[in-house]
C-alpha cells in the first residue's frame, strides 16, 4: 500500500491547525521528508503484520510510513494535542490503515503494559530522554525483539560503543545487557522542522536471546541472584565504575563491594587486575563482577 507521507507543507499546516509550537522540552523536531521515513522503515526491516511500538509519533510522519509497510502501530505520545490528532490524520491520509493504529497518550517513561505486544521499536525519539526511554522499554516490554531509533549522534555512538572507545560509558554497557547495537546511518538536520542544533543518527538493536548475551549471560540454575537482581547489581556496578571514570575499579567499586579490599578481591576472582578502569571492561566482564558475591571463588 502507498500512503501520502507528510512533507514540509503538511507538517506546517498540521502544526498551525493544532496551534502547536514545537517545544525543546519535549524534543519536538518533526520529520518532513518522506525518503527519510521510508529509509527508517526499511532499515528496521518492518514486515507486514508486525506490531511496532513507536514512541513520540508527533504529527505522524513515521507512523504513516509504518502503516504504509502494513504494520500495526502502538504509538505512545506524551503531548495530548498530538495524541488526539494522530488518528484523525491517519483517517484522512490512510483510511484503510486506521484500524491498525492504537494511540496511547502517556509518558513513555511510565509505560508498563501496552494494548498489544510489539516486536519492534521504531521511533524518532525525544532526544533529551532517549537513553532512559530505551532502557525503560527494554526492561518493561520483553516482547521487543529489535528496533531502529533515531537519536542524537553522540548518543547513538555511545549506545553502540565498545571498550576502548572514548564514548564508551554506562549507557553502552546497560544497552549491551539487553542486546547488540550498531549505528545505522546519519540523518541530515535538514529533514526536520524545526531544524535541530544537533546531528542525528540511526541506531539499530537486536535483543539477546537471554539478557547479558547467550550462554554467559543466560540465567543459570543455582545462580544466587535472580535475573532482575543480577541486572540491578550490574547496573549499580556500571554506574559506580563510570561515575568515577578516571579512578581504578578497586576504588570506584569500593562502595558497591563494601570496601576497596573486597572490591580488589572481587576483581581478582574474575581475573581482572584491581588497577583496571571501567572503560576497559566488556559488558561480560562487568557481568562476571555482578555475579561475584563475597565468598564465591568463581563468577
- Is the previous residue joined to 194 through a cis bond, with omega within 30 degrees of 0? yes
**Interaction of residue 30 with ligand SAM, rule CB under 6 A:** yes
**Interaction of residue 61 with ligand SAM, rule CB under 6 A:** yes
- Maximum distance among all Cα pairs of the chain, rounded to whole angstroms: 66
Stretch that binds ligand SAM, among 78-86, 198-206, 225-233, 277-285 (CB under 6 A): 78-86
**Interaction of residue 10 with ligand SAM, rule CB under 6 A:** no
Write out the three cell numbers for 157.
555512538
Stretch that binds ligand SAM, among 24-32, 137-145, 181-189, 288-296 (CB under 6 A): 24-32
Write out the three cell numbers for 87.
488518528
**Interaction of residue 44 with ligand SAM, rule CB under 6 A:** no
Q: How far is the CB of 52 from ligand SAM (least distance, A)?
A: 12
**Interaction of residue 89 with ligand SAM, rule CB under 6 A:** no
Interacting residue with ligand SAM among 3, 5, 15, 31 (CB under 6 A):
31
Interacting residue with ligand SAM among 58, 65, 169, 212 (CB under 6 A):
58
Interacting residue with ligand SAM among 14, 15, 29, 200 (CB under 6 A):
29
Q: Hey, how many other C-beta atoms are within 10 angstroms of the C-beta on 95?
A: 9
Interacting residue with ligand SAM among 3, 15, 78, 203 (CB under 6 A):
78
**Interaction of residue 124 with ligand SAM, rule CB under 6 A:** yes
For residue 101, which phi and psi values (nearest 5 degrees)? -110, 130
Is the distance from CB of 296 to CB of 224 less than 8 angstroms? yes
Stretch that binds ligand SAM, among 87-95, 103-111, 155-163, 210-218 (CB under 6 A): 103-111
**Interaction of residue 104 with ligand SAM, rule CB under 6 A:** no
Is the distance from CB of 189 to CB of 201 less than 8 angstroms? no
For residue 148, the SS3 value is: strand
The closest of 30, 71, 26, 35 to 53, measured between CA atoms, is: 71
CA distance 224 to 168: 29
**Interaction of residue 26 with ligand SAM, rule CB under 6 A:** yes
> Residue 63: which H helix or E strand, with range?
helix 61-68
Q: How far is the CB of 108 from ligand SAM (least distance, A)?
A: 4
> Residue 172: which H helix or E strand, with range?
helix 170-178
Q: How far is the CB of 285 from ligand SAM (least distance, A)?
A: 33
Cβ closest to ligand SAM, residue 197 vs residue 221: 197
DSSP string, 249-288: HHHHTHHHHSSHHHHHHHHHHTT--TT--GGG--HHHHHH
For residue 3, the SS3 value is: coil
**Interaction of residue 15 with ligand SAM, rule CB under 6 A:** no
Interacting residue with ligand SAM among 34, 101, 108, 121 (CB under 6 A):
108
Interface with ligand SAM (CB under 6 A): 26-31, 55-58, 61-62, 76-79, 82, 107-109, 124, 126, 129
Amino acid at each position: 500500500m502507498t500512503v501520502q507521507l507528510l512533507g514540509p507543507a503538511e507538517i506546517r499546516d498540521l502544526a498551525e491547525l493544532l496551534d502547536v509550537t514545537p517545544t525543546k522540552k519535549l524534543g519536538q523536531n518533526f520529520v518532513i521528508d518522506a525518503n527519510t521515513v521510508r529509509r527508517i522503515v526499511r532499515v528496521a526491516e518492518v514486515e507486514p503484520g508486525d506490531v511496532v511500538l513507536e514512541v513520540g509519533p508527533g504529527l505522524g510522519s513515521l507512523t504513516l510510513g509504518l502503516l504504509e509497510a502494513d504494520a500495526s502501530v502502538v504509538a505512545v505520545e506524551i503531548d495530548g494535542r498530538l495524541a488526539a490528532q494522530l488518528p484523525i490524520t491517519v483517517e484522512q491520509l490512510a483510511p484503510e490503515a486506521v484500524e491498525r493504529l492504537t494511540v496511547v497518550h502517556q509518558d513513555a517513561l511510565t509505560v508498563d503494559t501496552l494494548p498489544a505486544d510489539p516486536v519492534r521499536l521504531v521511533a524518532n525519539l525525544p532526544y533529551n530522554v532517549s537513553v532512559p526511554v530505551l532502557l525503560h522499554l527494554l526492561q518493561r516490554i520483553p516482547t521487543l525483539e529489535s528496533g531502529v531509533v533515531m537519536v542524537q549522534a553522540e548518543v547513538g555512538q555511545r549506545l553502540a560503543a565498545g571498550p576502548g572507545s572514548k564514548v564508551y560509558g554506562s549507557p553502552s554497557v546497560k544497552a549491551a545487557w539487553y542486546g547488540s547495537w550498531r549505528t545505522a546511518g546519519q540523518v541530515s538536520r535538514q529533514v526536520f522542522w524545526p531544524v535541530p542544533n544537533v546531528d542525528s543518527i540511526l541506531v539499530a538493536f537486536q535483543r539477546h536471546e537471554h539478557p547479558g548475551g547467550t550462554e554467559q549471560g543466560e540465567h543459570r540454575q543455582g545462580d544466587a541472584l535472580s535475573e532482575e537482581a543480577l541486572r540491578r547489581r550490574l547496573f549499580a556496578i556500571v554506574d559506580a565504575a563510570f561515575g568515577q571514570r578516571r579512578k581504578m575499579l578497586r576504588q570506584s567499586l569500593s562502595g558497591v563491594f563494601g570496601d576497596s579490599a573486597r572490591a580488589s578481591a572481587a576483581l581478582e576472582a574474575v581475573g581482572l587486575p584491581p588497577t583496571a578502569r571501567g572503560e576497559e571492561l566488556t559488558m561480560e566482564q562487568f557481568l562476571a563482577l555482578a555475579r561475584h558475591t563475597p565468598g564465591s571463588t568463581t563468577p
